[in-house]
Homo-oligomer: A and B are copies of this chain.
Amino acid sequence: MSRQRRSTIRDVAEKAGVSIATVSKYVNRQQSFSQAVEDKLRSAIADLGYSQNPMARSMVTGRTTAIGLAVMDIANPHYANVVKGANRVALENGYNLLVVDMEESIAAARPLLEALSPRTDGLIVSARIPPDVVKWLANLDKPVAFLGQPEGEDVLTVGTDSVQVASLLAQYLVRQGFRKFGYVGYSRASWNIERLRGLRDVLEPAGLALQVFDVDEPTSEAGERAAARALLRPDRPDVIIGCNDLVAIGLMSEARSLGFKVPEDVAFAGIDNIPTSRYVAPPLTTVDVCSQATGEVVMKQIMAMIENKPQPENLTLEPALIIRESTQRIPV
């Protein structure tokens, strides 16, 4: 492996016999050139394999043409799809999307974002970070948007309304004839209270019971671990809602291992509509939270802010109920 020094604008200028300013203008297509200069430049650049150093460029322009996206857990397909959406839009518009994974550790958020921020023109950040970091972000010298609503801060937010998402699901389940509800939440997430409220808004007026459980991480493994707690009890729920599909899938799987028939003995539903929710057994009823569209919309919003263009209106996306077999019980 040849560890040759990367060639600079000065190398090109020298080889082509012009000034570095000319090279800069050529590389940035800022004007036209005499045929002679253009030819020399083209071949010098090709010979040297020169390409701009975006960092040096950024130092003077103050722009990076990169946008940062910090997610809680890239292994969660919901976030992976947000990334997909944001990435596509970014690339189409000449931006690079730089993704960092916060590993569900809110403690690590601050240093990660401090490192990411100066490398970007704008930031997209998962909502579940500490208030002081949110405040720091809000005072940053660049546009910031959040995926979900951070606690008690009035900041730019893109996504579905968590209350609405939960209500939508609860309404359907009530219609299906379920009477004893369980919710396995993730209390550390900012959206958890909202989802709970969405459920209660529907269940309390109807006089229906809601038992609440909690997992320590929003994963299928945690869902599996929580299943026994929710199921092996006299007042066992007849439907259990996972705070997201991952958790619901784990719950459902363990329920079957425990000998329960799904949905006959106990039904399950999730939230997110991750791709695999279709393929589990039985296919999981869930609410589509428009993961990819969220990424697209938040990216457009950030770009508009960077470029001082008129900004998109609708930052709240409409969730959609996805009915599958995991809740298809013949009503009693």
Binding site for B on A (CB under 8 A): 1-6, 49, 51, 53-56, 58-59, 64-66, 74-75, 77, 80-81, 83-84, 87-88, 91, 96-101, 103, 108, 112, 114-116, 118-119, 136, 138-141, 220, 249-250, 253, 275-276, 278-282
Also in contact, A55 and B53, with CB within 8 A (given A3-B141, A96-B115, A280-B280):
no
Cβ-closest 9 pairs across A and B? A281-B281, A99-B99, A276-B276, A75-B80, A87-B101, A55-B55, A96-B115, A6-B141, A279-B280
A1 touches B118 (CB 8 A): no
Select A118's contact among B54, B81, B98, beta carbons within 8 Å.
B54
Also in contact, A249 and B279, with CB within 8 A (given A74-B99, A99-B74, A99-B101):
yes
Q: How far is the CA of A255 from the CA of B77 in the complex (A)?
A: 24
CB contacts (< 8 Å) of A59 on chain B: these are: 55-56, 59
B91 touches A97 (CB 8 A): no
CB contacts (< 8 Å) of A220 on chain B: these are: 275-276, 279
Q: How far is the CA of A91 from the CA of B66 in the complex (A)?
A: 21
Counting chain B CB atoms within 10 Å of each CB, the highest count among A1, A64, A91 belongs to: A1
Also in contact, A112 and B84, with CB within 8 A (given A1-B138, A220-B275):
no
CB contacts (< 8 Å) of A115 on chain B: these are: 54, 65-66, 96
CB contacts (< 8 Å) of A1 on chain B: these are: 138-139
CB contacts (< 8 Å) of A51 on chain B: these are: 114
Q: How far is the CA of A1 from the CA of B143 in the complex (A)?
A: 9
Q: How far is the CA of A276 from the CA of B91 in the complex (A)?
A: 29
Q: How far is the CA of A244 from the CA of B250 in the complex (A)?
A: 22
Smallest CB-CB separation from A115: which chain B residue?
Answer: B96
- What are 13 pairs between A and B in contact, CB < 8 Å? A74-B74, A74-B84, A77-B80, A87-B101, A87-B103, A91-B103, A91-B108, A97-B100, A99-B99, A99-B101, A220-B275, A220-B276, A281-B281
Counting chain B CB atoms within 10 Å of each CB, the highest count among A77, A97, A279 belongs to: A279
CB contacts (< 8 Å) of A5 on chain B: these are: 141
A55 touches B118 (CB 8 A): yes
Q: How far is the CA of A136 from the CA of B116 in the complex (A)?
A: 26
Select A99's contact among B49, B100, B118, beta carbons within 8 Å.
B100
A84 touches B101 (CB 8 A): yes
Q: How far is the CA of A319 from the CA of B97 in the complex (A)?
A: 32
Smallest CB-CB separation from A144: which chain B residue?
Answer: B1
Select A249's contact among B77, B103, B140, B276, beta carbons within 8 Å.
B276
Nearest-neighbour CB distance to chain B for A176, whole angstroms, equals: 22
CB contacts (< 8 Å) of A65 on chain B: these are: 115
